[in-house]
Amino acid sequence: MTPLQLSSNDLLADRRADYAEMLFASGDHAAAAELMLGALELAPNWAMGWFRAGEMHEAAGQMEAAAEAWRMSLKLEPADRPGAALKLQLVGAAPAADSPPSAFVETLFDQYADKFDYALVETLHYRVPELLTAAIGATRRNAFAHAVDLGCGTGLMGVKLRPVAKRLDGYDISAEMLRKARDKGVYDQLIKADLQEPEFAGEAADLVTAADVFMYLGALDRVFSSVMKMLVPGGIFAFSVELFSGVEPFELQASRRYAHSEAYVHGLIAAAGLKLVSLERAVIRQDRREPVEGLIVVTEWAA
């Protein structure tokens, strides 16, 4: 994928944008937004500039101006790599969608790949691979012929799966994440795939995992259906979700991640014909120094 245009390619516009960022960092959000608009007068086709202007307006409490800036970003970048559609949904300026733009997710992780492991493990105290591994181990099954790691990222879950999997495949939307996973040398095959529109082929698996993946998908009906096509009878499907305590099945959070309700998870499991083996609430990571609660779930296709 072509890198997102972080520069306007106009020296004066970039200089004004840099000054706007300095004002923003100092807490003068309204002045930053005004100066950013000045930069955009010189570079009106800069989608990322419009997205950033929206964030500055948002911080200044200027929600109508923020929404207008995000609409302009979306108009200039219909694939929506910056994620403007999600911001519009969060401020109530667009209807809620069932899933994020795939281009946003791909771009996010392509940009994040080089610092992903350190940021998650050292800064955010990410625990899902350990928690899922322990939950799978509690089934007393310690050997799998074929394991599939959905949304494998850089391979943090794969490292845990390798000792118990004769064959291990990883799927991810981000080419940069797959490159990092390849460096770990734990997968037999790595496949670039959009899990919102999954097309799986090959040998069926007796273990499928999705560690910290579903918060970037929203509605999960299609991915559950796809998992059932790749799982052998008696196979295990283990996954995590960020927990939503409201009455809706899932909700887009301010973090631009989706959280899912426990009731929704139970409904998905039942609809897929899976048997619930275990479901545990746990702190899965930190976010802005606050604990994020999630569900660690193990199911079995007891066909």
Could you report the per-residue pLDDT of 202-235, keeping only the tens digit for each?
789 999 999 999 999 999 999 999 999 999 999 9
Q: Are residues 145 and 281 in the same domain?
A: yes
* CATH code assigned at 28: 1.25.40.10
Residues 275 and 178 in one domain: yes
**Confidence at 5, pLDDT banded by 50, 70, 90:** low
Q: Of 95, 126, 153, which residue sits at a domain end? A: 95
Give the pLDDT band (50/70/90) at residue 122.
low
Q: What range does the domain containing 89 cover?
A: 11-95
Domain annotation covers residue 5:
no
Residues 28, 56: Cα–Cα separation, whole Å: 9
Q: Show the tokens assigned to 43.
A: 């570079």
Same domain? 253 vs 139: yes
Q: Which residues contact 117 (CB under 8 A, 6 or more apart)?
A: 154, 156, 180
Nearest alpha carbon to residue 85 among 218, 206, 181, 183: 218
**Domain boundary residue, one of 66, 95, 124:** 95
Backbone angles phi, psi at 235, to 5 degrees: -75, 165
Verify that 33 and 86 share a domain, yes or no.
Answer: yes
Residues 247 and 187 in one domain: yes
For residue 289, the model assigns a pLDDT of 78
Q: 161 and 24 in one domain?
A: no
The DSSP secondary structure of 1-34, one letter per residue, reads: -PPP--S-S-HHHHHHHHHHHHHHHTT-HHHHHH
Same domain as 183, residue 276: yes
Helices (H) and strands (E) in the chain, counts: 12, 9
Q: Which of 16-20, 74-78, 120-124 has the lowest mean pLDDT?
A: 120-124
Whichever domain contains 231, its CATH number is 3.40.50.150
Q: For the chain, how far is it from start to end, CA to CA, in angstroms? A: 41
Task: Measure the CA–CA gap between 171 and 226, rounded to whole angstroms.
Answer: 13
Determine the Cα–Cα distance for residues 273 and 278; give it in Å rounded to an integer. 15
pLDDT at 124 over 70: no
Lowest mean pLDDT: which of 52-61, 90-99, 258-267? 90-99
Q: What is the DSSP letter of 243?
A: B
Q: Decide if 6 is inside a domain.
A: no
Indicate the pLDDT class of residue 1, thresholds 50, 70 and 90.
low
* Arithmetic mean of pLDDT, 272-295: 90
Residues 127 and 233 in one domain: yes
Domain annotation covers residue 100: no
Q: Is the pLDDT at 187 greater than 70, yes or no?
A: yes
Q: From residue 40, how far is each of 5, 66, 199 by CA, in Å?
A: 14, 14, 41
Q: Give pLDDT, residue 123.
A: 65
Question: Considering the domain boundaries, does residue 106 fall inside one?
Answer: no
Is 4 among the domain residues? no
Number of folded domains that form the chain: 2
Residue 118, C-beta contacts closer than 8 angstroms, at least 6 positions apart: none
Together in a domain, 151 and 239: yes
Q: Answer whether 63's CB lies under 8 Å from 57's CB.
A: yes
Does residue 101 fall inside a structural domain?
A: no
50/165 same-domain check: no
Distance (Å, whole) CA 111 – CA 11: 23
Q: Are residues 189 and 292 in the same domain?
A: yes
Do 121 and 91 share a domain, yes or no?
A: no
Q: Which of 95, 122, 138 is the last residue of a domain?
A: 95
Nearest to 285 by CA among 225, 242, 256, 244: 242
**pLDDT tier for residue 199 given thresholds of 50, 70 and 90:** confident
CA-nearest of 142, 132, 187, 161 to 299 is 132
Distance (Å, whole) CA 61 – CA 198: 39
For residue 121, the model assigns a pLDDT of: 60
Q: What is the mean pLDDT of residues 247-262?
A: 94
Asked if residue 185 is part of any domain, the answer here is yes
Alpha carbons 259 and 218: distance in angstroms, whole number: 8
What torsion, rounded to 10 degrees, do the Cα atoms 13, 14, 17, 18 define? -140
Sign for the CA dihedral angle at 182, 184, 189, 192 comes to negative
138 within some domain? yes
Say if residues 97 and 218 touch (Cβ distance below 8 Å).
yes
Three-state secondary structure call for residue 164 = helix
Residue 78: which pLDDT band, with cuts at 50, 70 and 90?
Answer: very high
pLDDT grade, residue 303 (50/70/90)? low
